[in-house]
Structure 1
Amino acid sequence: MKQFIIRVYGLIINQKNEALLSDEFVLDTKMTKFPGGGLEFGEGLLDGLKREFQEECNGQEIENIRHFYTTDFYQKALFFDDAQLISIYYLADLKQPLKFKISEKAFDFKIDAGETQSFRWVKIKDLKEDEITFPIDKFVLNKLKATFNE
């Protein structure tokens, strides 16, 4: 059955022009991406984005949410047969105080202990496409570099 998969992501950029990345282990795969995830049926985009941050970031709230980019080309969904991915990216700020740990290194968790996610800051100018897992995130990274060049 042909379907659309809708995903919503938060682009969190700090004062040092660093982007918040999520390192995850899902479906037996290590992945580095921008924080966010799948929209649930009956949910609006902003509600979905806020829910994702609440779920993934220990109850973290976000604010100052503004649209950055929506997929405007065909992107096949990687984990679904016969599905098209539509991704919506929003710039947002983390509401203080922070409620989750920021790591210094990638994949700073123990899979065998049941942990599957960590977060870290990376300078946008230093971030390379091959450090990001998904094709659409690589595309958005280049848009971020054009917007937040130093």
Structure 2
Amino acid sequence: MALFNVRVYGLLINDEQEILISDEQEYGMQFTKFPGGGLELGEGLVEGLKREFVEECNVEVAVSSHFYTTDFFVKSVFNDSQIISVYYIVKNLSPLELAFKAVAFDFDGEGEILQSFRWIKLSELRVDDFTFPTDQHVAKLLIANL
């Protein structure tokens, strides 16, 4: 039986042409990715993305447009599933009230699951800012579209 893991991510770009990225610690590893996560059973892509932004960023977003869907094989680093990731351009519907960091993995508090957020200027975005292959590919596409 094939196991597919569908993930949905938001590309949130502010008025200063910076994109929001998430530094996380979970499963004993640290990684950097775009905000978003796994689709839950019975959820549509847009609905799942909106839920993820409320859970992670405590903000409602509007989905502007589709940006990219995985078109190559990606195996999960956490289990034997195949990852399918869908990326959308999003806009926050109210101000983001997060403690933005300047340095990666600058977490507040302790625990098994930690998360912090940074803004990166699109003009300074690098593929190696990201941990996972699909996020790296999306970074390449964003850089190419500048």
TM superposition score normalised by structure 2:
0.91
CA-atom RMSD in angstroms: 1.6
Displacement of 1:105 in angstroms is: 2.3
Residue type of the partner of 2:62?
Answer: E
Tell me the alpha carbon deviations over residues 54-84 of structure 1, each in whole angstroms, 9 at most, x when there is no partner: 1111x21112431101111221222111x21
| CA–CA separation in structure 1 for the residues paired with 2:111 and 2:78 | 25
Q: What does residue 142 of structure 1 align with?
A: 140
Residue type of the partner of 1:146?
Answer: A
Residue type of the partner of 1:73?
Answer: F
1:1-150 alignment, distance < 5 Å: 1-57=1-57, 59-81=58-80, 83-110=81-108, 112=110, 116-147=114-145, 149=146
Structure 1 residue runs without a partner (length 5+): none
The answer to which of 38-47 and 89-98 deviates more is: 89-98
Answer whether contact 1:60 1:100 (CA < 8 A) is retained: no
| CA–CA separation in structure 1 for the residues paired with 2:7 and 2:63 | 19
Taking a change above 3 Å as real, the CA distance of residues 39 and 133 of structure 1, as seen in their structure-2 partners, is: same
Answer whether contact 1:10 1:91 (CA < 8 A) is retained: yes
Identical amino acids, percent of aligned pairs: 50
